[in-house]
Structure 1
Amino acid sequence: MDSLGLFIFLMLLYLQWTPAPATEEITWTYTGLVGQPEWSKYFPDCGGTSQSPVDVITTQTKYDTSLIPVTPLGYSQHGNKPFTLYNNGHTVVIEMPEWMGLGGLPWFFTAVQMHLHWGSGGPSHGGSEHTINGLSADAELHVVHYNSELYPNVSIAMTQKDGLAVLGILIVTGEETNPAFNNILNYLQRIRHADQKVSIPAFDVQSLLPKDLGRYYRYNGSLTTPPCYQSVIWTLFHERVQISMAQLLKMETILYSSKAEDPERILLQDNYRATQPLKHRVIFASFSAESGKELSSGEVTAIVIGVMCGCVGLAVIVRFIVKTIRFFKLLHHETVVVNSSTSSWDVLPSNRPATMPRIRETEKAKVKKQDMALNSTCEAEKKEEPLSLQTEP
């Protein structure tokens, strides 16, 4: 074999035994050469049939009476040990202590970490990964747990079908500041560049969650970033959490996906994956759409305020009617009193003396005439008496 043939043979052996680069070493991004459309080329699971996030069409969900409220365990017992906050170039991650866990699922799940997803255009421009009826929120919080009842660590659990449980919290923008999220956002300035870490004071993790943990959507899905393992039991809460516009802008504009030594600074924005086809899966709901009418807390508050205003308005109307009736009664009473003072004979006929019949007046006149005639006769007789005595023999 000549030297050229030997060289070619050795090169073939080298290429055959040189291992291919591991997928973990591939730098993926949300856009660019290894952006979302290219993920499945380098990470096969990203092209699977049970990918996340998804669009939850509420009319197509199935009500499951067996779904009980999820129970955060130890979320409020943060202790004195600080949390670790770091920028991994894709999002901001908060490591959670191992004593925190999650109940209300078929197995016990131990907390691992939580992270955020957001957009770049401020309020009403999207940023959440999951959507409901095609509408996205401004951001989304994920709290990741692994099945510690069946698997020894998160690295093994994430490759198994029932290995992970993730809580999804949709975040919207409002007028009031959310103090709970300031426990994270106030320290972003210290980890502006990728691979930077900082210790932050421990805080109550449950304060980041919605108040209502009993109304949620449940489905089997995947990690929303490479390697996209289809190992997640998703719990997406129906109630949204609210932060202020200033808090959202801080989330969208402070962090960089580039490292401190990189010549070009690239803002960490739009770090959310597009919704994936649901395909054969069914999304279950822990509540009935008919009974709950799928009202948000804001809608419930508006209804309560509307009912209260309606009751107050009704009370005012009733009071007005009562006052009007009393006014007319009083006016009628005063009219009766005035009429009685000017025409009392009409009002009180029983007090008016009865008129004497004319017949009695005629009889009195006759009696008076008879008396007068009698008197005149008597006087005439008296005058004639002496005359008759004188003429008697």
Structure 2
Amino acid sequence: MDSLGLCILLMVLCFQWTTAPAAEEITWTYTGLVGQTEWSEYFPDCAGNAQSPVEVVTTQTKYDPSLLPLTPLGYSQHGNKPFAMYNNGHTAVIELPEWMGLGGLPWLYTAVQMHLHWGSGGPSHGGGEHTVNEMSADAELHVVHYNSELYPNMSKAMTQSDGLAVLGILIVTGEETNLAFNNILNYLGRIRHADQKVFIPAFDVQTLLPEDLGRYFRYNGSLTTPPCHQSVTWTLFNERIQISPAQLLKLETILYSSKAEDPDRMLLQDNYRTTQPLNHRVVFASFSAESGRELTSGEVTAIVIGVMCGCVGLAVIIRFIVKTIRSTSSWDVLHSSRPAPMSRMKEPEEEKKQDMALNSTCEAGKKEEPSPSPQRDP
């Protein structure tokens, strides 16, 4: 009996071991039974102390002058070979050719793929993963590279602390259509369901990046999806890319997380992870915190109104000063050109008349005085 019981126990354990799914085979989601709040139960690294994404507070970042502008290698040399794009049930992934890489880091990194994260509520409702000063973006693009100097492939590198380098590009909505992103968005309709794949015309990947590659945040973190390996050197650009509201709407409503044969279709939305604790990690910046501080729309409006009021006030003061100077100058000119008093102008003439009157009086006196009698001789 003891031998039989032991045999049965071993058979049960063997059955459990063979039927227990591997971590890579677990179907995870952003919400639901294996949602992001339960990731750590199935993927231990998701409970690590260096997880991504994070909230970046610019005033708490540390300026590092050694952080030089990044150098995309081969991004513009797309060649004639098309890119493969597929729906993996979590996002749209675009595979990148191996000749694309990234310079400006301690090692050479080779490009692997890029993918997107987005929300469901349209503009200003979130969808990006990283936040800056509590401001979220509408979507976020990640360009993934692996350390090809130290590791032979992506699978090996993603488990090492210095294995991956990911570029994070925050996306917001603006008035104009972003033609570069149409190279991706125009083909999403061909991979609407999970596991569908399509080849799209190759294009200049660098057109998806910000113009200013020298202003960014740098920190050590993880993959933002299971298995959440803490192997990523993150570069989050300060400049944000703009797409139109129509482009964002297409991104949020065209893909499904379900397969084509599934009876119930589920839209692929809100595929972003919430920010994780920084846990004493330092976020470095390639620029000073003050110069890199993002201004809110209210702050920008207040600055514009303040400048306008200041200009109006300065114009009023200048006009008042000019008017005062002109008034003073006119008075001085008028005062200096004022004719002399008439009494002074007539003084010589009056003196002349007085002299003539005096002479006339003298002559009259002389006429009235009797002439002396002639003296007779005795």
TM bin (shorter chain): 0.7 to 0.9
CA contact (8 A) 1:87 1:195 kept: yes
Shift of 1:268: 0.2
Change (3 A) 1:81 1:315: farther
Q: In structure 2, how many angstroms separate the alpha carbons of the residues matched to 1:82 and 1:29?
A: 30
Deviations for 1:293-319, whole angstroms, at most 9, x for unmatched residues? 514698999899779868975896588
CA contact (8 A) 1:185 1:250 kept: yes
Unaligned runs of 5+ in 1: 382-393
Deviations for 1:114-137, whole angstroms, at most 9, x for unmatched residues? 111111111222111111233321
Shift of 1:174: 2.2
SS state of the match for residue 219, structure 2? Answer: strand
Shift of 1:44: 1.4
Shift of 1:370: 2.3
Shift of 1:237: 1.4
**Code of the aligned partner of 1:66:** S
CA contact (8 A) 2:70 2:103 kept: yes
Change (3 A) 1:362 1:200: same
Question: Residue in 2 aligned with 1:125?
Answer: 125
CA contact (8 A) 1:239 1:296 kept: no
Question: Residue in 1 aligned with 2:88?
Answer: 88
Shift of 1:333: 8.9
Q: Determine what percentage of the aligned residue pairs are the same residue.
A: 65
SS state of the match for residue 40, structure 1? Answer: helix
Question: Residue in 2 aligned with 1:147?
Answer: 147
- 1:346 aligned residue (341, 364, 377): 341
Q: In structure 2, how many angstroms separate the alpha carbons of the residues matched to 1:313 and 1:16?
A: 80
CA contact (8 A) 1:345 1:352 kept: no
Q: Which moved more, 1:259-268 or 1:362-371?
A: 362-371
CA contact (8 A) 2:109 2:145 kept: yes
Q: In structure 1, how many angstroms separate the alpha carbons of the residues matched to 2:80 and 2:310?
A: 50
Q: In structure 2, how many angstroms separate the alpha carbons of the residues matched to 1:235 and 1:42?
A: 28
Question: Residue in 2 aligned with 1:11?
Answer: 11
Q: In structure 2, how many angstroms separate the alpha carbons of the residues matched to 1:333 and 1:17?
A: 108
CA contact (8 A) 2:138 2:173 kept: yes
Q: How many residues align?
A: 374
Deviations for 1:172-211, whole angstroms, at most 9, x for unmatched residues? 2222222221221121111111111112222221221222
Query: What value does the CA root-mean-square deviation take over the aligned residues?
Result: 3.7
Q: In structure 2, how many angstroms separate the alpha carbons of the residues matched to 1:159 and 1:2?
A: 44
Shift of 1:271: 0.4
Q: In structure 1, how many angstroms separate the alpha carbons of the residues matched to 2:74 and 2:348?
A: 100
Question: Residue in 2 aligned with 1:218?
Answer: 218
Shift of 1:102: 0.9
Change (3 A) 1:67 1:299: farther
- 1:355 aligned residue (345, 350, 359): 350
Change (3 A) 1:78 1:355: same
**Code of the aligned partner of 1:294:** R
Question: Residue in 2 aligned with 1:209?
Answer: 209
CA contact (8 A) 2:85 2:200 kept: yes
**Code of the aligned partner of 1:139:** A
Q: In structure 2, how many angstroms separate the alpha carbons of the residues matched to 1:78 and 1:131?
A: 31
Q: In structure 1, how many angstroms separate the alpha carbons of the residues matched to 2:169 and 2:311?
A: 37
SS state of the match for residue 260, structure 2? Answer: coil
Change (3 A) 1:48 1:11: same
**Code of the aligned partner of 2:361:** A
Q: In structure 1, how many angstroms separate the alpha carbons of the residues matched to 2:16 and 2:256?
A: 39
Alignment of 1:51-66 (within 5 A): 51-66=51-66
**Code of the aligned partner of 1:180:** A
Change (3 A) 1:351 1:187: farther
Change (3 A) 1:41 1:9: closer
Q: When the two structures are superposed, what TM-score results if normalisation uses the length of structure 1? A: 0.82
Deviations for 1:139-184, whole angstroms, at most 9, x for unmatched residues? 1111100001111111111111100000111112222222221221
SS state of the match for residue 361, structure 1? Answer: helix
SS state of the match for residue 112, structure 1? Answer: strand
Change (3 A) 1:329 1:22: same
SS state of the match for residue 18, structure 1? Answer: helix
SS state of the match for residue 229, structure 1? Answer: coil
Alignment of 1:176-215 (within 5 A): 176-215=176-215
**Code of the aligned partner of 1:259:** K
SS state of the match for residue 234, structure 2? Answer: strand
Alignment of 1:157-306 (within 5 A): 157-290=157-290, 292=291, 294-295=293-294
Q: In structure 1, how many angstroms separate the alpha carbons of the residues matched to 2:323 and 2:231?
A: 71
SS state of the match for residue 356, structure 1? Answer: helix
Q: In structure 2, how many angstroms separate the alpha carbons of the residues matched to 1:58 and 1:97?
A: 34
Shift of 1:328: 4.3
Question: Residue in 2 aligned with 1:387?
Answer: none
**Code of the aligned partner of 1:370:** K
SS state of the match for residue 167, structure 1? Answer: strand
Change (3 A) 1:132 1:348: farther
SS state of the match for residue 350, structure 2? Answer: coil
SS state of the match for residue 341, structure 2? Answer: helix
Q: In structure 2, how many angstroms separate the alpha carbons of the residues matched to 1:262 and 1:2?
A: 48
